[in-house]
């Protein structure tokens, strides 16, 4: 799909989801059933129009990659989206568990959608995957803390994803991704990269970027960025193992959701 000169910093190679039609954030909310969408007061009408098309394609690409319906993207209508508002100083994108909302800055957030969406998904899943995890915890952290899993084939597949990310091939020790992340945190005097929810969000980014659909408004930086060169994204055999686990999980989840809910019309006429 061709892009205007103002959008050339974004590249995309993937299916045409809207036949070249213009879309708005109203169309995005209607199709994916987000709980709410809020746009910052300093986002101009022209910026809104450009951003809506980029968001629409990115979310539709994500849905295609995950092989599920629209309700997966909006987490059954529980997720809110903010653009150009609700951010934090110095942070281009973030997920707020209290509000169940992910926010992208107007000029700095693009490329972070996959990462922040997975935080929302990880948070949403916790009480569905584990019976005794504290309220508000991420499923990845609950898994690492040995919370009691809810018996279900999908939860078994989810556990395989977390195991591939957080543990080595034997399943007995920490993965190389975790080791590199912990060393990075130690050198920086912080606790960020080695948190399970951050490890899993970065692993999900790599899975999305490796999917075959190229969209750097959705995801970027898992192969050639400074963080990637430092080993803060999965590499080699571990990356292949993680991608296979995610593909198996989301194929099964998407199939179950598609059987339960028919897909929505692409764009409201």
Question: What sign has the CA pseudo-torsion 165, 168, 174, 178?
Answer: negative
- Which residues, other chains included, contact 254 with Cβ-Cβ below 8 Å and sequence gap of 6+? 66, 67, 68, 69, 72
Q: Which helix (H) or strand (E) holds 52?
A: helix 45-66
CB 66 within 8 A of CB 72: yes
Distances (CA, A) of 93 to 27, 102, 104, 116, 227: 22, 7, 4, 7, 17
Give the pLDDT of residue 55. 95
Residue located via tokens 């430092």:
230
| C-alpha span between 112 and 219 (Å, rounded) | 6
Q: Domain range holding 180?
A: 18-260
Looking at the chain, the number of H-run helices and the number of E-run strands are 10, 6
Residue 6 belongs to a domain:
no
Residue 8 belongs to a domain:
no
- Is the pTM higher than 0.85? yes
Residue 11 belongs to a domain:
no
Residue 2 belongs to a domain:
no
Distances (CA, A) of 167 to 66, 123, 179, 196: 23, 20, 10, 11
How many structural domains compose the chain? 1
CB 205 within 8 A of CB 114: yes
What angle do helix axes 176-188 and 153-166 make, rounded to 10 degrees? 60
Q: What is the pLDDT along the chain (269 residues), one digit of tens a residue?
A: 334 434 557 889 999 999 888 999 999 999 999 999 999 988 999 999 999 999 999 999 999 999 999 999 999 999 999 998 755 555 678 899 999 999 998 876 678 999 999 999 999 999 999 999 998 999 999 999 999 999 999 999 999 999 999 999 999 999 999 999 999 999 999 999 999 999 999 999 999 999 999 999 999 999 999 999 999 999 999 999 999 999 999 999 999 999 887 666 566 44
| C-alpha span between 221 and 210 (Å, rounded) | 11
Residue 180 belongs to a domain:
yes
Give the pLDDT of residue 261. 72
Mind giving me the DSSP string for 134-176?
A: PTT--HHHHHHTTPPBPP-HHHHHHHHHHHHHHB-TTSSSB-H
Give the pLDDT of residue 263. 60
Residue 267 belongs to a domain:
no
Residue 10 belongs to a domain:
no
């Amino acid at each position: 799909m061709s892009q205007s000169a103002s959008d050339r910093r974004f590249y995309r190679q993937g299916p045409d989801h809207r036949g070249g039609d213009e879309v708005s954030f109203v169309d995005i909310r209607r199709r994916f059933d987000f709980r709410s969408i809020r746009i910052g007061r300093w986002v101009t009408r022209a910026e809104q129009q450009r951003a809506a098309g980029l968001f629409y394609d990115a979310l539709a690409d994500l849905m295609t990659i995950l092989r599920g319906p629209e309700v997966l993207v909006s987490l059954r209508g529980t997720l809110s989206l903010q653009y150009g508002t609700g951010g934090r100083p110095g942070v281009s994108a973030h997920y707020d568990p209290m509000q169940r909302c992910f926010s992208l800055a107007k000029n700095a957030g693009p490329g972070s959608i996959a990462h922040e969406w997975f935080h929302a998904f990880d948070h949403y899943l916790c009480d569905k995957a584990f019976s005794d995890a504290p309220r508000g915890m991420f499923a990845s952290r609950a898994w690492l803390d040995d919370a009691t899993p809810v018996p279900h084939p999908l939860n078994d597949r989810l556990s395989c994803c977390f195991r591939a990310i957080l543990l080595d091939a034997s399943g007995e020790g920490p993965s190389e991704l975790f080791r590199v992340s912990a060393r990075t945190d130690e050198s920086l005097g912080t606790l960020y990269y080695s948190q399970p929810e951050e490890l899993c969000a970065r692993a999900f980014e790599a899975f999305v970027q490796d999917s075959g659909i190229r969209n750097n408004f959705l995801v970027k930086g898992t192969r050639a960025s400074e963080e990637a060169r430092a080993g803060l994204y999965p590499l080699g055999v571990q990356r292949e193992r993680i991608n296979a686990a995610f593909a198996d999980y989301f194929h099964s989840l998407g199939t179950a959701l598609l059987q339960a809910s028919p897909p929505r019309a692409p764009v409201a006429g």
